[in-house]
Structure 1
């Protein structure tokens, strides 16, 4: 076979890592006296946020999407602060007693800063009335009027009683007033009869007495009617006296309120109801008869009456639900723990005699109520995790009303004295922060979501690497230095962070926008510099911080390296083998991603044509990997079965794989592996390979290229670098290379190499050292002596062997003997 005469391109150190020149870091230009919190390279997201905050219509709430650490919350807080300052401050909200329907406390909106003062004024009013009403009703003038009315009533009753006595005497009866009413007593011979004397009378005498009593009965009934009328008149007069006095005292006490709140109609209406209720329940402010009778050293002072029976003044108290006194502009609430009660409010309970009781003063506001008239920031994952929160939030936002409910009542968990507070009109802009995945899930599966959150602000995880964005990095680092009180950075230190920003996104032309990660690196580099007692943070400190950050999470990778060293994981990097290849895989552990070579093997044999994916048979293969194997079958058939079927049976296996395989980045390795096995051509095990292949044999880019190369380099270094070691990668991945310092040094010393390829044939030639060959349309074959020519012949030789076997089998068969049917009849 022909050996490959092509000299393949190898990447140099400048191509595998894009440095940041120190002259691009202009520190003097970015020295500021004050920190700068401008938003960096999020034009699309900023425009969406401005639009969402500017449209004051229902449904224009904002969903902020993007990866963690891109500064979403900081940006939102900054935007809201600027916007809220220009907005009017919303009013206060209070709950008051509903005199018409006590089970439904009444919600009232007051001007900003009024609620607390109004509550204090009402409490003082109750204390004032408690004293003034008692003093008024114990005054000499009031007692004189009461006594005059009572005496006049008593005189009228006495006169009527005297007239009844005279009438009764004419009928030989006396009249006596008892607790049971008027009793008539017969008089015989000028002497009232006792019950004993009456029983000793004859029947004739008794009949005569009863006849006289019957004649007197109408007079007695008329007397009783007149007395009741007098007493009712007296009672009405006393109540009128009490009402007039109470109305005077209460009206005088309310005069300051009526003047102060004359512009607030709802307050005046409430005060009118308070006055009516007060006059109907004046006795709640007056001492009991027992207290009056027991006056002395142990008597109860007016201000302590409510302590004896609870608070009789509760209906006149004020529950300050939302107080915006300290708010400047619109309120901004960031709710970090959005449970049902924290978000929507709650009705607290007291336990009395084993039963939960409550009242309107125990209604407490949640984040939605506090953010009313402003902005509420929530985390999407948090509200989806909390029971009943998402459904209730949607209902509240659709109705634009806040209902304060009790989960215990809804599920009949607690026997409570239930309240149904009046709902509060809601005008709040919700900013929901979450991932793209949650956004897509809600958009596709929740029909209400896109009606409520019509604005999506998408934060990009990367930005172009240019002089402007480098300046942004310098500005950000300068700000963090002031805010976190860090040592100053020199040009080399900032250049190292810029390079780290490209490494994070695996792209030489991009920088990460995960500024929380950049902030962490600045803090850790500051520690490294102070530990070494330096006055400035340089490149060495940044690189050490990055190395240690990696090392802190590299325990699993170290265990795998140890297993490679002990040969528990079988990997060869200094031999040539048929049907074996070193593919490159990436392990992602959340805070760390690292590459590990994986040994892929292939066996070809005579059998049912096709490629058997052992991983798939063992249910360890993902959909993308299965797709890649199908593409291999297509490419092999299109390449080697142009005239007749290429009958090949092959099995592919990822050795020592127990966790599953997915992705199509191993298809290039698998293709070269199958060709090696068919042609019996060994593959250089010192070369790792990664890349995706399409049906035309074109190489497609893959992810995690830096981790894959660095992982294979560690394995090669472990076994000893031969100068031939290296990795084959798709040519499109060159711009994604940001390899670490150790790999770059090995490339510079030509101990390790990176070969970019664009076609499957190039990768095969690199791995085997043999020329692949091209198809000759005129001759209907591959070039004589090429590797593909050998493969083509072997594939079709198997087909010819099969045909020859069929011919031999046919030739050795005995001819069939046809027997004539017997014409003899069976004899019975």
Structure 2
């Protein structure tokens, strides 16, 4: 291994020596790197020098639940809650973990406390249309009592009506009416008998009616005797019978009249007695609910129905056969007849007895039925049975008159929920529907409860991309959710916000029963807040993550058996949190160690460079160096992106390659086209490449390949480049530097290794302790650059060179001059050959002259 390293070093040195001879202006790598700015350890990490005002006193004070640094969102929420107009519902957007739900819950508690409590809702039997149960609103807390009163009324009437109809007075009146009727019928029958006797007929009453029997010699004829009579005798008897028939019909008519009168009198007696009993039972209701018109109207319908169906309260001599049967309907749904007093029962749909102020409902599982309510059913003997008492309320009904909090992603995932929610909010009416009927093959008809007027403020919590998607693709969305409360994922790092962090830590200490944090522990958490957002001047507002760190740091401190949480506990909690998810990164490091992934950090090579990439796994992001290679050849001018050809290149990376091509053409093709034929490849990449942070590395790689100058593999490069060669900031700078440092440390630090980053990213550096210590020992370096030429000089050790507008050429002896000549030399040679060929084609043919006589003469000699 040592011999191989010496051989590689000697070859590299020979190449550098040759290049130095070619470029008189060139400087050695060591001198070049020294003239560029290197960051010190204080610049790559911002420590917290903030001294909290009496953190121990804050820990002993009451917990603080104030909202931290969300002024824009707070104002939007106040506006949305304050405007009580249709469509002013609120969409709360922001990164997960910024406390959106907690903030909304806190706001709603304060707002709802000053709002009136909405009334109760009940469903009752609709006497006019039984398939459409009637919805009624009652005063708050009345529904349960009214239901209980109606149940007691049914029980009371069941007893009192039976007693009343079995009383001696009622039975006397009934018997008297019946006796009078019987006397009248007996008198009529006696008169009919006399009339029939005169005409030699007897009268007999049967179930089939009045039968007339002929009498001969004082004896009624039997059918046998009648059959033995002669025809003349039969004809005479039938003639007399026909004369008697009008008398019989008149008797039957009078008897029916008497029976109808008797029946009416009996019903009148029954109705008078029932009306008296029911009216006496309803007197307390009428007094209690005299101000509620809807209840009085319902009680009037109940009374009318009761009087029409008094038999339901009286014992039936023939009951038993049909008890518990069902009233069949044309559909597959049936109203249950198990309870004969069902029409007088009450279904308490929404009960706000225990609610103080406006109701606040946070629905965590917004399925169709959980949100809009449902009509339950029973299956009895293969038939669906239901009734109005089986109508159940959903979250919207319970939140009516208050606030409903929903998760945007959940309602979009649930079938039919989003479209139904929009329809309900626009119409401001809640319909209780059966979702199964919409998907049923056979059309069915069941209960259709009356809709309930809806007045609810909906707060939808979701991400920014869901908001943009709905805003662009759903024309109703912006009409329904007119207020957007945008929660920022970061805030300025100032004394005020750091004091807010101290308040938050103090609150979590009280709520979670944690050990108190000392100044170093608080400082470490504040620094961690800057690391999350990759900015020295910002702090994260993802307080759910900060809360988790406080809990885990408390565990570390208790393991050490200390009484306070210090910096070491916080740092250990952060480190273990990282290590729990670093299995894939460990596998990659192992592959680097075993050289399954080919990366060099100590040599100089032509056509190779170490770019810096970031792998994002959701809960973890880490950096890994990527070997980028370039080859040049004779061919069609241009840069071929192998990743794009293999469909592994994203749109942003393709854009970066196009910008790179544009810069090369603008720099080296000022007078004539440049003959650039190159291929760029991310070696051992199988998952795709995206982003433009590799543009700087690719640019330096192409230049060094054309100039045949080796690049120091110990320097990792990241940065975006615009068409003017200016370096632009990139993301994930901390992860990229730490990932390259791990690779360099794995292969051995030599004091010349480091990373080139955009100068704008300096303020984003929050590097871990291991990298900071290496920077402090001059074992690892960070070079911020602002132009592509600076990065090229750092990587190669040679002066790039400037363009001289007066002379129309690059600085003499510079690398760019060499590249310019190399690119245009091939074109110049081609042009010369083309001109010569053109002259030969266009030159006129000349006649060959005969040899001179002198030459002939001399030839003969």
Shorter-chain TM-score tier = over 0.9
Q: Which moved further from structure 2: 22-31 or 370-379?
A: 22-31
Q: Secondary structure at the match of 1:100?
A: coil
Segments ≥4 residues shifted beyond 6 Å: 811-818
1:524 paired to 2:547? no
Distance in 2 (CA, whole Å) between partners of 1:238 and 1:213 is: 36
The match for 2:468 is 440
Q: Secondary structure at the match of 1:620?
A: coil
State which of 551, 556, 567 in structure 1 corresponds to 2:584: 556
Distance in 1 (CA, whole Å) between partners of 2:694 and 2:486 is: 32
1:3 paired to 2:26? yes
Shift of 1:205: 1.5
State which of 613, 625, 633 in structure 2 corresponds to 1:597: 625
1:547 paired to 2:575? yes
Distance in 2 (CA, whole Å) between partners of 1:144 and 1:417 is: 49
The match for 1:821 is none
Q: Which moved further from structure 2: 559-568 or 808-817?
A: 808-817
The match for 2:509 is 481
Q: Secondary structure at the match of 2:680?
A: strand
The match for 1:197 is 225
Shift of 1:30: 2.8
State which of 201, 204, 211 in structure 2 corresponds to 1:173: 201
The match for 2:500 is 472
Map 1:125-140; keep pairs closer than 5 Å.
Answer: 125-140=153-168
The match for 1:251 is 279
Distance in 1 (CA, whole Å) between partners of 2:603 and 2:840 is: 48
Q: Secondary structure at the match of 1:15?
A: coil
Distance in 2 (CA, whole Å) between partners of 1:62 and 1:648 is: 56
Q: Deviations over 1:677-723 (max 9, x none)?
A: 01011100000000000111000000000000000000000000010
Structure 1 unaligned spans of 5+:
293-307, 819-828
Distance in 1 (CA, whole Å) between partners of 2:300 and 2:590 is: 85
The match for 1:462 is 490
The match for 2:314 is 286
Indicate if the aligned counterparts of 1:65 and 1:435 stay in contact, CA closer than 8 A: yes
1:715 paired to 2:743? yes
Shift of 1:655: 0.6
Shift of 1:22: 5.0
1:668 paired to 2:696? yes
Indicate if the aligned counterparts of 2:592 and 2:743 stay in contact, CA closer than 8 A: yes
Q: Secondary structure at the match of 1:607?
A: coil
Map 1:390-409; keep pairs closer than 5 Å.
Answer: 390-409=418-437
Q: Which moved further from structure 2: 26-35 or 398-407?
A: 26-35
Q: Deviations over 1:89-134 (max 9, x none)?
A: 0000000000000010000000000001100110111011111111
The match for 2:679 is 651
Residues 346, 491 of structure 1: CA spacing in aligned structure 2 closer, same or farther, 3 A cutoff? same
1:620 paired to 2:648? yes
Indicate if the aligned counterparts of 2:59 and 2:509 stay in contact, CA closer than 8 A: no
Indicate if the aligned counterparts of 1:356 and 1:415 stay in contact, CA closer than 8 A: no
Shift of 1:581: 0.4
Indicate if the aligned counterparts of 1:668 and 1:691 stay in contact, CA closer than 8 A: yes
Shift of 1:187: 1.0
The match for 1:42 is 70
Q: Secondary structure at the match of 2:510?
A: helix
The match for 2:257 is 229
Distance in 2 (CA, whole Å) between partners of 1:607 and 1:276 is: 100
TM value normalised by structure 2? 0.92
State which of 331, 345, 348 in structure 1 corresponds to 2:376: 348
Q: Deviations over 1:557-612 (max 9, x none)?
A: 00000111111110000000111100000000000000000000111122111111
Q: Secondary structure at the match of 2:51?
A: helix
Distance in 2 (CA, whole Å) between partners of 1:664 and 1:700 is: 10
Indicate if the aligned counterparts of 1:356 and 1:416 stay in contact, CA closer than 8 A: no
1:260 paired to 2:283? no
- Equivalences, count: 803
1:748 paired to 2:776? yes
Residues 397, 291 of structure 1: CA spacing in aligned structure 2 closer, same or farther, 3 A cutoff? closer
Residues 343, 488 of structure 1: CA spacing in aligned structure 2 closer, same or farther, 3 A cutoff? same
Q: Which moved further from structure 2: 412-421 or 806-815?
A: 806-815
1:765 paired to 2:793? yes
Map 1:382-397; keep pairs closer than 5 Å.
Answer: 382-397=410-425
Map 1:35-434; keep pairs closer than 5 Å.
Answer: 35-290=63-318, 310-412=338-440, 418-434=446-462
Residues 415, 143 of structure 1: CA spacing in aligned structure 2 closer, same or farther, 3 A cutoff? farther
Shift of 1:414: 7.0
Q: Which moved further from structure 2: 59-68 or 417-426?
A: 417-426
Distance in 1 (CA, whole Å) between partners of 2:796 and 2:548 is: 46
Indicate if the aligned counterparts of 2:202 and 2:212 stay in contact, CA closer than 8 A: yes
Distance in 1 (CA, whole Å) between partners of 2:288 and 2:469 is: 54
Distance in 1 (CA, whole Å) between partners of 2:654 and 2:126 is: 69
Indicate if the aligned counterparts of 1:26 and 1:471 stay in contact, CA closer than 8 A: no
Indicate if the aligned counterparts of 1:584 and 1:595 stay in contact, CA closer than 8 A: yes
Distance in 1 (CA, whole Å) between partners of 2:26 and 2:54 is: 53
Give the RMSD, CA atoms, in angstroms.
1.6
Q: Deviations over 1:471-501 (max 9, x none)?
A: 0000000000000000000000000000000
Q: Secondary structure at the match of 2:757?
A: strand
Shift of 1:808: 5.9
State which of 606, 613, 634 in structure 1 corresponds to 2:634: 606
